[in-house]
Copies of this chain bind each other. A is one copy, B any other.
Amino acid sequence: MRDTEDHIIKISKALSDKTRILILKEVAKKGGIGLTCSGAEEIAELSQPTVSHHIKILVEADLLNAEKSGRCILLSVNKKTLNEFGSLISESFENL
């Protein structure tokens, strides 16, 4: 039960920021993005340190997958985490 609460809080924190929502949308829209490859710094027109900071939080919350590919890191949205979180939120506060 404790783990469930911590999980909800971790994902919620990651989702409670406008820039991170923007990054998730951008990565989803492009069906994945290559980081440190050409064009990577252009995510949502943000500076590279800002992008790195927020991507770290999104990856740690398992909302973004980060896969190494040569000198690039390929980012994609982790649909599994999002779907499971969606179900968890719906189910966690049922009358017991």
Q: Which chain A residues have a beta carbon within 8 Å of chain B's beta carbons?
A: 5, 8-9, 12-13, 15-18, 21-22, 24-25, 27-29, 31, 77, 79, 82-83, 85-90, 92-96
Contact = CB atoms under 8 A, between A and B. Distances in A.
A27 to B, nearest CB: 8
User: What is the total number of copies of this protein in its complex?
Assistant: 2
B95 A90 contact: no
Question: At the interface, is chain A mostly helix, strand, loop or mixed?
Answer: helix
A83 B89 CA distance: 7
A96 B5 contact: no
Given A9-B21, A13-B12, A18-B9, A93 B82 contact: yes
B93 A28 contact: yes
